[in-house]
Amino acid sequence: MAIHPIEYRYGSKEMKAVFEEQNRLQKLLDVEAALARAHAGAGNIPAGDAGIISKKASTKYVKLARVKEIEEETKHDIMAVVLAMSEVCGSAV
């Protein structure tokens, strides 16, 4: 018997995809992009920086393997995403 409900109760292919690591990372990156755009709209950061962050907030640029490496060091999943983003966005972060 499975321990986790998604393994048996909600175990459809579509439902498992929702909780897959790559998808979760992309959703976290989507939040970071939205936050950057909101901060730009409020005048807290330059619009150009928000554009760079929004463009780079993708698993095309921020790799799951790198996030995992950073998380191993920091012991914090969200901080790992932020640090990985900063590596690909440079001074825009």
| Residue 20: per-residue pLDDT | 87
| Number of residues written out for the chain | 93
| CA dist., res. 1 & res. 44, Å (int) | 51
| pLDDT reported for residue 6 | 59
pLDDT of residue 10: 64
Q: What does the pLDDT look like over 6-63, one tens digit per residue?
A: 566 667 788 778 778 999 999 999 999 999 999 999 999 999 999 999 999 999 999 9
For residue 13, the model assigns a pLDDT of: 81
Query: How many Å apart are CA 58 and CA 80, to the nearest integer?
Result: 15
* Closest by CA position to 81, among listed 90, 70, 91, 72: 70
Q: Match domain 21-92 to its CATH number in 1.10.275.10, 2.40.170.20, 1.10.3720.10, 1.10.287.980.
A: 1.10.275.10
What pLDDT does residue 1 have? Answer: 43
pTM, two decimal places: 0.84
Phi-psi label, residue 2: left if phi above 0, alpha if psi -120 to 50, beta otherwise? beta
Rg (C-alpha) for the chain, rounded Å, is 16
**Domains of the chain, residue spans:** 21-92
